[in-house]
Amino acid sequence: MTTKYTIKVCSGYWIDEPSRILSGARVALESWDEVEDHWDESIFYYMDNQPLQVGSVIAEDFVVTEIEGD
């Protein structure tokens, strides 16, 4: 299946609420193309071509603890 973005599925927690864990967060490695369509409906965060790694803080306060497939 063709997709508009390169997607990584992540787990992590919020800095101010470490017990609040999120699994299955879909992160696009590219920037948002400013066209809202069905590809964007499930994206948690756009990396804007910045590196994504365990320990990254994204969406201002979400700490990535696992990246599926890495």
Residue 40 DSSP code: G
> What pLDDT, on a 0 to 100 scale, did the predictor assign at position 3?
79
The pairing of strands 7-14 and 62-67 is antiparallel
Q: Which residues, in sequence order, are CB contacts of 69 under 8 Å at separation 6+? A: 8, 9
> What pLDDT, on a 0 to 100 scale, did the predictor assign at position 1?
56
Kindly tell me if the per-residue pLDDT of 51 is higher than 90: yes
Token pair for residue 26?
């879909």
Kindly tell me if the per-residue pLDDT of 34 is higher than 80: yes
- Which residue, 59, 55, 53, 65, is CA-closest to 21? 65
Q: Which residues, in sequence order, are CB contacts of 1 under 8 Å at separation 6+? A: none
